[in-house]
Structure 1
């Protein structure tokens, strides 16, 4: 009797698979033909948009699919969407000139995920550094610099 159930394979039969490019996977069968065509269309559209849009917009605008002559464009936030609406007539004409079957643009906002807040500063000063800073503040004439150095020295001397 085997210690492996009939539904599982022994560990030695598993082979590590290498990552495969999406194009290679989509080319294997005709079942993915529509998906492959859509992926290629989006890639070509992204390329044209990078050329047609200003740099600050090109990096923050993503194309959607063209459905019934309407191209959906997704902006990262409202300000970019508003700027894109100002460029809409020229962009539409440029896309048509490049051969895209587009009669209208639909501009939508797709917020980007929030970035993680920066870590809290954890600066530490050695006791010798805090003493040197205190001595420097004592040697200066009264001024905003002298006050700032005194505060900094006091804060770091307290945290010992």
Structure 2
């Protein structure tokens, strides 16, 4: 005998739901929804105002007492943001945001997975052609690099 009512059983996995829909179901989530919408709107404005390299690595926080918290991925971006701060505050004020200053903090982002090692393969004919070319050149860095590349691709076979 099951401890659950037969009417409470789900028929399968539930489909993902938009965050706005979940937060709008009850009034208890109203402040949280307002905060999420505010951060999303600030992010859209920052994406429009900042250069691409900065916008991709900057996350907005909440506006508290007229101060917007911005989180940069590393110190160099934070320093660049500090140079742009007066213009950024003026531009955000022009877009209707009630803020007086920006507080820039560093919040390191998760380390991305390293790029996979190169998987380039050279045919035996190509490796032989590189070896022949390296033998015709005078001793130089290019000749050494070609010989090394040819040797690396011929010894794998």
Q: What TM-score results when the alignment is normalised by the length of structure 2?
A: 0.80
Tell me how large the CA RMSD over aligned residues is: 2.5
Aligned counterpart for 1:77 among listed residues 74, 77, 83? 74
Q: Secondary structure at the match of 2:14?
A: coil
Q: 1:123 to 1:34 in 2, by over 3 A?
A: same
Between the two proteins, the alignment pairs up a number of residues equal to: 154
Structure 2 residues without counterparts, runs of 5 or longer: none
- Could you say which residue in structure 2 is the equivalent of 1:61? 58
Aligned counterpart for 2:88 among listed residues 91, 103, 110? 91
Query: 1:73 & 1:29 partners in 2: Cα distance?
Result: 30
- Could you say which residue in structure 2 is the equivalent of 1:29? 26
How far apart are residue 56 of structure 1 and its match? 2.5
How far apart are residue 129 of structure 1 and its match? 4.5
Query: 2:115 & 2:98 partners in 1: Cα distance?
Result: 44
Structure 1 residues without counterparts, runs of 5 or longer: none
Aligned counterpart for 1:142 among listed residues 138, 144, 153? 138
- Could you say which residue in structure 1 is the equivalent of 2:48? 51
Query: 1:70 & 1:126 partners in 2: Cα distance?
Result: 61
Q: What TM-score results when the alignment is normalised by the length of structure 1?
A: 0.79
Note the 1:124-139 alignment, pairs <5 A: 124-127=121-124, 129-138=126-135
- Could you say which residue in structure 2 is the equivalent of 1:116? 113
